[in-house]
Each structure stands twice: as C-alpha cells, then as structure tokens.
Amino acid sequence: MELIRKREQIRLAEQGRDLLREKMDALVREFFRVMNEVSTSREGLELSARDADRSLLIAQAVDDPVALKSASFATKRRVVLDIDSRSIMGVPIPVIEKKSLALGVLERGYSIVGTSGRIDEVAEKFEVELDLIIGLAETETTLRRIGHEILMTRRRVNALEQVMIPELYRQTKYIKITIEEREREDLFRLKKVKRMLDRRKRQSRDAAAVTET
C-alpha cells in the first residue's frame, strides 16, 4: 500500500537525518580540537620564526657576508614529502610522514672551516621553522576539510528537515485524506445499496401480503 511505503520512507529519512546529526556533532568536536592544535602550532611557528630571524640578523651583523651567502646557497635543497591519508568520519585527511628536515653540521653542504657557529645556528633554526611550517600545513588542511564537510553535512540535514521530510508528511497526509474520502464514499454506497435492498424487501413483503388477501 502507498501509505505504508510513504511511512517507511519517512522512517528512513528521519533515521538518515539523525545519523547525519551525529556525524556533524562528531565533526564539530573534531573541528574545535584541530582548531586548538592549529592555534598552538601557529604560536610555536611565530616564536620559531622570530628566533630564526634574530639569529640571522646577528650572523649578518657579525659574520662575513660572503661566507653567509655561500652557506645559504650550499644548504638549498629540494624538500620531498611522503603524503598519505586517513579518514575522519568519512573525510579524507592528509598525513605527512614526519621526517625532520634538520641536518647535521657536516650534511649541509658548506665547509665548516669558513663558517662560524652562528651560521650553523641560523641553518638549524630555519630547519626547525620549516618542520613547523610543514606540520602546520597538514593541520590547517585537516581543519579546512573538516569545516567543509560540516557545511555539506549541515546542508544535507537541512534538506531532509526542511524539504524532504515535510514533503513526505504532506504526501502521507494527502494519501490518508484520499483513503478516508474513499472509505466514506464506499460507506455511503453501501448504505445506499442497503436502503435499496431494504426497500425491495419491503416492496416484496407488501406485494406478497396483497396477493394473500
């Protein structure tokens, strides 16, 4: 029956809405957790950047500019990242394999004979800053993707609550009214047929009585 089918659709739609609400609540909790992580990471990056800049200024003021520039060119290298992914409530999240970019003094490509410890310190602090930048990029990407999924989930919940479910209830009400109207019409016809049968029975009895007399 159509009415039973509509009621089942309502049940499934409301069940889907409730599941989406649960998903959205979980995503919101995760969003705020990651947002705190982003805030902490940004503060750490700002401190690291200031520290690295301070060390660079000192090296520029004290050390030989040629030695400093030579060391900076020698330390240039490609940064290769291994990126995997994980899922949070169905949301694909990037995962960057945590490999420190910090190098030892002998691994940076410049001669330690012509450079000072201050230049080594500058290189080390900028390597730390780069590590923090990569970590922050991963966390901020996670935050954006979770935020986008929250918006999409909220739209689906609103579509169910404000459009689909009310429309199903409207259709169910229309079907019930139609069924009730048919039942009233059927009852009216039955009563009409019954009256006709009763009248014919009376007429038959009256005719039989006249014949007997």
Structure tokens at 25: 């609540």
Inside any domain, residue 118: yes
Q: What is the pLDDT of residue 211?
A: 64
pLDDT at 69 > cutoff 80: no
DSSP 208: H
d(CA 110, CA 128): 19
Q: Considering its fold, how many domains does the chain have in total? A: 1
Residue 123 is assigned to a structural domain of this protein: yes
Does 179 have pLDDT greater than 90? Answer: no
207 in a structural domain: no
What tokens appear for 57 in the block? 């200024």
* CA–CA dist 37, 49 (Å, integer): 18
Is there a domain that residue 124 lies in?
Answer: yes
Residue 136 has pLDDT above 70, yes or no: yes
Identify which of 70, 135, 80 has the alpha carbon closest to the alpha carbon of residue 108.
70
Parent domain of 61? 17-163
Would 68 be classed as within a structural domain?
A: yes
Residue 9 has pLDDT above 90, yes or no: yes
Domain contains 178: no
- Asked if residue 75 has pLDDT above 70, the reply is no
- Band of residue 16 on the pLDDT scale cut at 50, 70, 90: very high
Look up the CATH number of the domain holding residue 138: 1.10.287.3240
Task: Specify whether the CB–CB gap between 130 and 79 falls below 8 A.
Answer: yes
The predicted structure's pLDDT at residue 199: 80
Residue 188 lies in a domain: no
List, in sequence order, every beta strand (DSSP E) within 46-153.
83-88, 91-96
Q: In the predicted model, what is the mean pLDDT of residues 129-143? A: 92
Indicate whether 67 belongs to any domain: yes
- Whether 106 shows a pLDDT value over 70: the answer reads no
Vertex 108, ends 103 and 114: CA angle to 5°? 130
> Mind listing the pLDDT tens digit for each residue in 82-103?
888 888 888 898 888 777 666 6
* Token duo for residue 107: 């691994």
